[in-house]
Amino acid sequence: MIYLAYGSNLHIGQMQFRCRTAEVLGTSTLHGYRLVFNGVATIEPDPDSSVPVLLWDIKPADEIPLDRYEGYPQLYRRETVQVELNGKTVDAMVYIMNSKGIHFDKENLDTAEPSCSMMFSFLSAIAQDESRSISENVRWGYRERFKRGEYNLGNNRILGYDCVDGKLVPNQDADAVRMIFQMYIEGKSIEEIRRLLTDYGIRTKKGQPLAHNNIMYILQNETYMGDKLLQKQPPKNFLTKKPDERVPYESNYLENDHEAIVDRKTWDTVQEIIRQKKAVTAAVGRIGGRPHFLYGKLYCGECGEPMTRRTLNGPKGIKHKVWTCRGRYEGRKGNGCKLRTIKEDLLLQTIEESIGCEVNAENAAQIQRVVITEDDIAVETS
Ligand SMILES: [Zn+2]
């Protein structure tokens, strides 16, 4: 049977994990439908749209895990659609959700050709949504409580404040917070501040010494100047691990919500210093160059050592980028690993075939690990 996949089943590795005997037939475009979203992805008729799809040949044994994965027949029903495959029109089975969904932004989807970036945007939206089922409920919880005037959730973890009858009230740790802001303005590094605080015996609400990111969080937390921001940031995009501004979310900013620990001028000064430091770091990073996006992800499957990137000088001065097992190239310290050196071109090509898309610095976050042996390159994705 031909099975038409969109959304998360575009992911070849995951699909093959679920359906061991399924085989890829090729990519195609389903015309007259658009991809929509209702907690999970589905498609619905739309004469002006099309959806990039992947066609699979599935065996009867594959249908059971697939039905289970798709939630057939409760969540999804099966339908038959016509689609073009290698110049012929064929019937394909597709799962369609039983209720209506939320639409993707039009500009993200109205493209006739299934492209890499589109598939990535689908995958990202879908993966994000799988985690959303939990966090979204939590967010709605905040939102509802906020509307009822109750917003004590999470506040009892803010250093320097206690939550009393739903209001934030400075406590004995407020001086420590003032000290952190003051030291930062005086030019002390986060590490220096961290050491001083530890010496003073200042702990987090959980009783642990403050870590670097705790201090950065405090320095950028608007709570300390008396404001309250609920729904701080949109859900994170699973590829970039950054908040996805395209995802709708509610932001409720309350000024002078509670007693401030630092004044606004102090808070603003600190934000300006942080901004300048970030700008400097970014500039230095560009001059110095960044490590290759596959660094730390490639491992030798023969001996387990990480792979390192090297430049080989070929004939006529042509340089090749290659990856080689670290165990092999450390001379006497090496473990004598015999894994052959692999050309970067070939490596990238194999990874791209495996994940079904181009790989680059922007989307490399999805690649967890690549294990290279003499006869195989195994790509593990998130
Ligand atoms: Zn090795």
pLDDT in tens, 110-158: 333 333 344 444 444 444 444 443 334 334 444 444 444 444 334 446 7
- Give the strand pairing for 367-373 and 298-300: parallel
Query: For the domain with range 2-114, which CATH number is right: 2.40.50.140, 3.30.360.10, 3.40.800.20, 3.10.490.10?
Result: 3.10.490.10
On whether the CB atoms of residues 381 and 13 are closer than 8 A, the answer is: yes
The domain ranges of the chain are: 2-114, 151-226+261-287, 298-381
Residue 72 has pLDDT above 60, yes or no: yes
On whether the CB atoms of residues 50 and 29 are closer than 8 A, the answer is: yes
**What are the CA-CA distances from residue 140 to residues 133, 243, 246 (Å)?**
11, 17, 18
Superfamily of domain 151-226+261-287 in the CATH hierarchy: Putative Large Serine Recombinase; Chain B, Domain 2 (3.90.1750.20)
On whether the CB atoms of residues 178 and 261 are closer than 8 A, the answer is: yes
- C-alpha 370 to ligand 1 mean position (Å): 13
Dihedral (Cα; 204, 260, 266, 151), 10-degree rounding:
60
> Can you give the pLDDT at residue 240?
53
> pTM value?
0.35
Question: How crowded is residue 22: how many other Cβ atoms within 10 Å of its Cβ?
Answer: 23
- C-alpha 371 to ligand 1 mean position (Å): 10
- C-alpha 239 to ligand 1 mean position (Å): 29
- C-alpha 124 to ligand 1 mean position (Å): 33
Return the minimum-mean-pLDDT range out of 22-36, 142-156, 355-369: 142-156
- C-alpha 199 to ligand 1 mean position (Å): 45
Give the span between the Cα atoms of 332 and 109, in whole angstroms: 56
Same fold, 2-114 and 151-226+261-287: no
- Between 329 and 233, the more confident residue is 329
> Can you give the pLDDT at residue 236?
54
Residue 271 has pLDDT above 60, yes or no: yes
Give the span between the Cα atoms of 41 and 51, in whole angstroms: 12
- C-alpha 293 to ligand 1 mean position (Å): 20
- C-alpha 314 to ligand 1 mean position (Å): 23
> Can you give the pLDDT at residue 10?
66
At 312-325, the pLDDT tens digits run 877 777 788 889 88
